[in-house]
């Protein structure tokens, strides 16, 4: 069953990454189907306690990432995608998955900025963002879709790669 589960969630990952790269949106129906499948798998594997554990892992990631979403630094689809995978694993593994996704996303972001020759511009933008928050003593969004997607990455890819690291026994 483990191989079938990995193939199923790997297939979902490919479709999710495709949509995130292409449209900068992840279809909610795909995420809902993946999440429902994750809970069915947890129930078959560990009973109701597995479902409760999966829900706890999801809640933990949601609580950690909601402020980041509020700042416009991560998309809602990315959070739902992380929550889908976290429903399959323990809360500690979910933290590792988030950590590795951020590391991989950071590496991809640096490569993206180098390729686009936008690193200085992006770090200046970050510096001004922080200075404005301190000066105004208020929080504003770091990024809005109206700014376009040229300086963003599709975070679904690092999330999927991080889950693959889990499957490979990295955490």
Query: What is the residue extent of each domain of the chain?
Result: 2-167
Please give the structure tokens belonging to residue 98.
């988030």
The pLDDT, as a whole number, for residue 143 is: 84
Q: Convert the pLDDT of each residue in 91-114 to its tens digit.
A: 999 999 999 999 999 999 999 999
Whether residue 1 has pLDDT greater than 80: no
Give me the pLDDT at residue 148, please.
85
Average pLDDT, the chain: 94
Cα separation of 130 and 91, whole Å?
31
What is the share, in percent, of the chain residues with pLDDT greater than 90? 87
Region of poorest pLDDT, from 2-6, 16-20, 74-78, 142-146: 142-146
pLDDT at residue 138, as a whole number = 84
- Alpha-carbon distance of 152 to 54, in angstroms, equals 30
Check residue 20 and give its pLDDT: 96
**pLDDT digit string (tens) for 38-54?**
999 999 999 999 999 99
């Amino acid at each position: 069953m483990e191989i079938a589960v990995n193939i199923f969630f790997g297939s979902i990952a490919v479709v999710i990454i495709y949509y995130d790269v292409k449209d900068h949106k992840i279809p909610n129906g795909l995420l809902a189907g993946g999440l429902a499948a994750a809970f069915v798998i947890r129930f078959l594997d560990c009973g109701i306690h597995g479902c409760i554990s999966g829900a706890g892992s999801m809640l933990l990631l949601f609580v950690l990432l909601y402020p980041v979403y509020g700042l416009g630094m991560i998309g809602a689809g990315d959070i739902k995608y992380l929550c889908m995978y976290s429903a399959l694993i323990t809360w500690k593994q979910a933290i590792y998955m988030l950590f590795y996704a951020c590391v991989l996303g950071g590496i991809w972001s640096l490569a993206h900025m180098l390729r686009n020759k936008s690193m200085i511009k992006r770090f200046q933008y970050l510096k001004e963002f922080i200075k404005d928050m301190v000066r105004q003593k208020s929080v504003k969004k770091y990024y809005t879709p109206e700014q376009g997607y040229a300086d963003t990455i599709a975070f679904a890819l690092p999330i999927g790669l991080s889950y693959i690291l889990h499957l490979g026994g990295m955490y």
